[in-house]
Every structure is written in structure tokens, then in C-alpha cells.
Structure 1
Amino acid sequence: MRIWSLHPDLLDRPALVAGWREGLLAQAVLAGRTTGFRAHPQLVRFREDPAPVRAIGAHLTALAQEATARGYRFDVSRILEPGPADGRLEVTSGQLAFELAHLRTKVEARSAAHVPVLDARVLRPHPVFREVPGPVAAWERT
């Protein structure tokens, strides 16, 4: 499971689609609708929010907005608690840098035409996150 902390406009098509699918799985876990993936480390940051289902809903909402901007149709009716991505969660600068390097490796292998997009855009977090100084997150598997 990879729930990207990166802004959705940095993601290539496979990462955007996988992020949507995995975000829906995370939503099911956080809502208590499935027993799988309950201990997944990426869910820690959502569980720390007072309203974890709302937090993942905001994450999914921003992914759906990016998909719409690209001409894709994600079924937003699947978001249990849609809402604005308001920077409610923290992400460290080290985590963002780690994820960008991880994404770049994937993009170079599968979507080489997307590499210039990564080079042209400013590294910034997904709108549900606000960037704070710090290393790679403790929950990340490096």
C-alpha cells in the first residue's frame, strides 16, 4: 500500500490510479469495514487525526479532483466522508524527498514521458498534508 504524501499533480497515471485504489482500501480499514491491512504503517498518520475517516476522505477527494482535471473519472460516491484537503496532517520534508525519489524510480521504469513533469514541478505535499522539517517518517519502510 502506498498512500502518497506528494501532491497528486506529481503522480503519473499509474501512481494516481493506484493511489486512489489504495486510498479506498485505507478508508475501508479506517472505517472498520475490513480486517486486512489494519497494522499497515502508512495508516498511522491518519489514525493520529481525531477524524481518520474524514482525513482519508480529504486525501481521496484531492486525488479525484486531480483525476478529473486529467479527464479521468473516479467514482467519488465511494468516498465515505469527502471534504477539503486542508493541511490537517503533517508530513516531513524528509518523507517528501524519499517519496519523490521512490516515485522517480518507478516513473523512469514505466512512464519515462512523465519524468519532465517531475523535473518541472515544485516538490510539495498532497493538500491534506502540511510540510514540516524532519527526516523520513518512522513508519516508512526504507
Structure 2
Amino acid sequence: MRLWSVAPSQLDRAALVACWREALLAQAVLAGRTRGYQRHPQLERFRALPDPVAAVGAYLGGVADEADARGYRFDRSRIISPSNPGAILDVTEGQLALEWEHLGAKLRVRSPADAERWAHEEPRPHPLFRVVPGDVASWERALPVSSDS
């Protein structure tokens, strides 16, 4: 499960669609609708909030907004709590940088045209997140991308 901290507008088609599906799974877990993925580390940041389901609903809303902008049809009726309170979660600079490099490595393999565009951008956070100083999040399990890969 990858719930990107990177802005949905910076994700390629495959990452955006996968992010939607995985965030729906996260919503099901947080709402108690499934037994799988209960201990997934990326859910820690949502569970730390007073209303985790509303937070993941806002996250899904940001992903759906980007899908709308691209002309995709994501079924918003699947969002349990669709409100958008604005930035309510912190993401560290280190976490955003790690995810940016992780995304770049994926793009170089599956979408060279997107990788070229990506190489000229700076990472921006999903609208739900506010960037703060700090290292990679304690819940992150992805390894930093090496410079020779």
C-alpha cells in the first residue's frame, strides 16, 4: 500500500489509479470493514488523528479531484466521509523527498515521458499535508533510492 504524500497532480496514471484503490482499502481498514492490512505502517499517520476515516476521506477527495482534472471517472460515492478540511497532517521534508525519489525510480521504468517531466519538477505535497522539517517518517518501509540505481 502506498498512500503518496506527493501531490496527486505529480503522479502518473498508474500511480494515481493505484493510489485511489489503495486509499479505498485504507478507508475500509480504518472504518473496520476489513480484517486485512490492519497493521500496515502507512495507516499510523491517519490513526493518530481524532477522525481517521474523515482524514482518509479528505485524502481520497484530493486524489479524486486530480482524476476529475484528467477526465477520469473515480466513484466519489465510495468515499465514506468526503469532507475536505485542508492541510491537517504533517509530512516531513525527508519523507516527501524519499517518496519523490521512489516515484522517480518507478517512472523511469514504466513511463519515460512522465519521468522526463518529473525530472524538471520539485515535489509538492498532497493538499491534505503540510510540509515540516524532519527526516523520513518512522512508519516508512521503502528503502532510500541509491544514486547508482
Compute the displacement of 1:122 (Å): 2.9
Indicate conservation of the 8 Å contact 1:93/1:134, yes or no: yes
Structure 1: which 4+ aligned runs deviate by more than 2 Å?
A: 119-122
Count of matched residue positions in the alignment of Structure 1 and Structure 2: 142
Question: What is the alpha-carbon root mean square deviation over aligned residues?
Answer: 0.9
CA separation in 2, counterparts of 1:105 and 1:116? 12
Q: Which runs of 5+ in 2 are unaligned?
A: 144-149
SS in 1 for 2:136: coil
In structure 2, the residue matched to 1:54 is 54
List aligned pairs for 1:109-128, cutoff 5 A. 109-128=109-128
TM-score of the pair, normalised by structure 1: 0.97
Aligned-residue identity in percent: 58
CA separation in 1, counterparts of 2:80 and 2:19? 16
CA separation in 1, counterparts of 2:117 and 2:84? 25
Does 2:16 match 1:16?
Answer: yes
Indicate conservation of the 8 Å contact 1:61/1:85, yes or no: no
Compute the displacement of 1:37 (Å): 0.2
**Which has the larger displacement, 59-68 or 77-86?**
77-86
List aligned pairs for 1:57-76, cutoff 5 A. 57-76=57-76
Compute the displacement of 1:63 (Å): 0.3
Check 1:30–1:36 CA distance in 2 against 1; reply closer, same or farther (3 A cut).
same
Compute the displacement of 1:124 (Å): 1.3
CA separation in 1, counterparts of 2:122 and 2:90? 18
CA separation in 2, counterparts of 1:122 and 1:40? 28
List aligned pairs for 1:1-142, cutoff 5 A. 1-84=1-84, 86-141=86-141, 142=143
Compute the displacement of 1:118 (Å): 1.4
CA separation in 2, counterparts of 1:19 and 1:89? 17
Compute the displacement of 1:16 (Å): 0.2
Report the residue type matching 1:95 in the other structure: Q
Compute the displacement of 1:117 (Å): 2.6
Compute the displacement of 1:85 (Å): 5.3
